[in-house]
Structure 1
Amino acid sequence: MSTVDVKTITLNEVLFQDDLIIDVRSPAEFAEYHIPNAVNIPLFSNEERAKIGTVYKQKSQAEAIELGVSLYGPKLPILYQKVKSLKQKKGESRIVIYCWRGGMRSKTVAGTLGLVGIDCFQLVGGIRSFRKLTQDRLDAESKRERKYIVIAGHTGTRKTEILERLQGEGFPVLDLEGLAAHRGSIFGHIGLTPNSQKQFEYNLTKRLEELKDADTLIIEAESKRIGHIIIPEFILAGKENGIRIELDYPFWSRVEHIYKTYKPEKNEEAINEAITKMNKFLSYELKQELDKLIEEKEYRIVFARLLEYYYDPRYSHSSHTYQSDAIHLSFESIDEAVEKLKMMILRYL
């Protein structure tokens, strides 16, 4: 068998739970987005892939291929052992190899493994075919009519925590921040590893599929972006036209929640960097005060000042853009908020 005699498989034929799916792209490509349950056995490291790309652009395709072959050759024994070990654990499962678009990387690996007796399939279209499937599902969802219940409230009102509780009790919650792995504010990435746009959209389609029988979705009142993630237009439209429930939580309780969430004792440097990025939006007097408070490590007061002079005014301004009035819900504890919300929501489901 030569390396060109490679069997192929389409995405519709892949058994995502049963097949041994191997992603041969670089670790960075894999981290950004990959097929569920795939195992990353990279043909090239991040640095090697970048070097090959540079040679391709600055010199020629032929020289880039030569460099790729020279880098790939010494890795064959390790690649073989890794795939052999995985196959032994998976038993009789088929092996599906993919790269970016079903091109040279996956074909090379599948063909080489075939030569040494490991039967493989190359995924037609690579990860791009999986990406297209996600986009098609989002397009279909955008044409579906659903009602939305929108949970709103100032920064620190524990909206995400409340939504998680509701989801755990079986309510049709679409936790956008959870799907993005980002809390939404300029501090939102701290302590988390945010997802890429592609990974977010896959997570979104997966959750929407789980909620396929729900005529109403419960979401948080997000802006157009969560960090670097762009929210689909159909969700934003649902938010604008949805039933809005405004959570009212005591100011100092909000401060304490923010303090416990971001843990200044562990994340002081990241918090200070985020505040620095906000400087252009803050008055000179406030910046001076914050600098002094940070120096004294008075982070509860720091968060209080940011709520009072930055987040709360911005929220008040944005809340005036809604077409309808909100239903207000005041609470002192999470348990109280969840029980009150459940009673409200059940009127509309």
Structure 2
Amino acid sequence: MRPDTHHYRELFLNNAPLMDARAPIEFSKGAFPGALNLPLMNDEERHQVGICYKQHGQEAAIALGNKLVSGQIKEERLQAWAQFTQAHPDGYLYCFRGGLRSQITQTWLREEAGIRYPRVVGGYKAMRGFLLNNLEQTVSSARFQILGGMTGTGKTDVLQQLDHSLDLEGYAHHRGSSFGKHATAQPSQINFEHRLSIAMLKKTAQGHQGFVLEDESQTIGRCSLPLNLYRGMQQWPLIWLEDSLENRITRIVRDYVQNLHAEFTQQSDPQTGFALFAEQLRQSLSRITKRLGHQRYQQLAAIMDAALQEQERSGALDGHRDWIRGLLTQYYDPMYSYQREQKADRVIFQGDADAVLNYLRRHG
């Protein structure tokens, strides 16, 4: 039998399959990429056992747990665990602290299914602690460069071509603006932190000592950047990406209209998907009404509605260019120009995508 492990670094570097024996409510609050929730107890069973533990102690709680998870319920859970171990012979199981629940799961697998399967010593709590510590240490010790630029210049496109980049918006599953929501939900704050830390861990293991990040607000949708990372981003060197207005509009139509529409239609039938897509686009514009001013909002909303109607009728996307152009020239560009002036002393390079890529590859 492979031994139990406390080598958390190797678990994440090797993408070890992980069987999470915690209750679903615990798993939903925070988990690790690729982990599968196969709980020893469901939420209600865990709740009852917890009350029993507080009132009558561990022995009584264990007895109640054995009573609740017995017969057909126990057989079904054992079967699911056995299937996981067969599909992932190189994996591990864990619970919250690597204690009683994972030990019981391990024992039942061994005694009733003849399967010896290792667990993670310290469980979820120790693994999360490792990732948070890694995140803090990496931010403190690595070199960082920040990629800025007007909306639509393709900062994410540039980052995706660099081995030493960290795609914060990718980890947060959000494009970082009022229009940044995807068709599917963002990860929890905890899962965002896990994704970021694991990315840093893997890239550091590959030999990277410096990283490139996109210039972001402190929050990306509902995900908040770690405070030390955000504070650093206000001081680190800035590379400014430039592109023409027409190219930026084309890119925004691709990302925020064409691709977003495709995301929604993949989730449901075409008619429902388009309706949900159109509603999200309208809500995104509505969220910045106060900053736009009512009259400007009404003008852009009317252009957007006409563009959506034409897209639904014929599939044509060109109508969206008009409200996007207005939004950029009247709102986003003046705001970004002001921010650029405030950060002028930190700008160490500026240019188009090819020039910026060459610079970052040479100085990475």
**Do Structure 1 and Structure 2 share a fold, with TM-score over 0.5?**
yes
2:178 corresponding residue in structure 1: 186
Shift of 1:81: 1.6
2:265 matches 1:273:
no
2:267 aligns with none
Give 1:5's aligned residue.
Answer: none
Q: Select which of 115, 118, 121 maps to 1:118.
A: 115
Q: Secondary structure at the match of 2:165?
A: coil
Trace 1:229-248 onto structure 2 (pairs within 5 A). 229-248=223-242
Per the TM alignment, residue 326 of structure 1 is displaced from its structure 2 partner at its CA by 2.8
Task: State whether structure 2 residue 333 is matched by structure 1 residue 318.
Answer: no
- Give 2:358's aligned residue: 343
1:248-287 matches, within 5 Å, as 248-263=242-257, 265=261, 266=274, 267-287=277-297
Unaligned runs of 5+ in 2: 262-273, 309-318
What amino acid is the match of 1:187?
A: F
3-state DSSP class of the match of 1:155? coil
CA distance in 2, matches of 1:64, 1:313: 63
Q: Is the 8 A contact 1:224 1:231 kept in 2?
A: yes
Q: Could you say which residue in structure 2 is the equivalent of 1:138? A: 135
Structure-2-length-normalised TM-score = 0.74
Hey, what's the Cα distance between the residues in 1 that align with 2:140 and 2:346? 27
For each residue in 1:305-344, what CA deviation from the matched residue of structure 2 results, as whole angstroms up to 9, or x when unmatched?
Answer: 322333223323333332615356454xxxxx2x312333
Kindly state the Cα deviation for residue 54 of structure 1 after the two structures are TM-superposed. 9.1
Q: Quick one: distance in 1 between partners of 2:139 and 2:209?
A: 14
CA distance in 1, matches of 2:63, 2:88: 34
CA distance in 2, matches of 1:14, 1:141: 14
- Cα 1:139–1:308 shift into 2, 3 Å: same
- TM-score w.r.t. structure 1 length? 0.77
State the partner residue of 2:300. Answer: 290
Q: Which moved more, 1:194-203 or 1:321-330?
A: 321-330
2 CA distance for matches of 1:55 and 1:300? 59
Pick one of 83, 93, 100 that aligns with 1:97.
93
Question: Within 2, Cα distance between the matches of 1:76 and 1:192?
Answer: 34
Pairwise mapping of residues 31-180 of structure 1 onto structure 2 (< 5 A)? 33-44=30-41, 49=43, 53=47, 72-73=69-70, 74-91=72-89, 93=90, 96-103=92-99, 105-116=101-112, 117-146=114-143, 148-165=144-161, 167=162, 170=163, 172-180=164-172
Secondary structure of 1:109's match?
helix
Cross-structure match for 1:12: 7
The amino acid that maps onto 2:347 is A
Shift of 1:191: 3.6
Give the CA RMSD over aligned residues: 3.7
- Cα drift, residue 214 of structure 1: 3.4
Percent of matched pairs sharing the same residue:
27
Greater per-residue helix proportion: 2
More moved, 280-289 vs 186-195? 186-195
**Residues of 2 paired with 1:55 and 1:304: CA distance?**
59
User: Distance between the aligned counterparts of 1:347 and 1:310, measured in 2?
Assistant: 35
SS in 1 for 2:287: helix
The residue type paired with residue 197 of structure 1 is Q
Shift of 1:161: 0.6
Deviation string 1:210-247 (CA, Å, 9 cap, x unpaired) is 44343432221122222222223443344333332222
Q: 1:285 to 1:75 in 2, by over 3 A?
A: same
Q: Say which SS state the counterpart of residue 324 (structure 1) adopts.
A: helix
Once the two structures are superposed, what CA deviation does each residue of 1:120-164 show, in whole Å capped at 9, x if it has no partner?
A: 445443211111001111222233152x33221111111101111
Q: Distance in 2 between matches of 1:65 and 1:295?
A: 61
- Cα 1:37–1:51 change in 2 (3 A) is closer
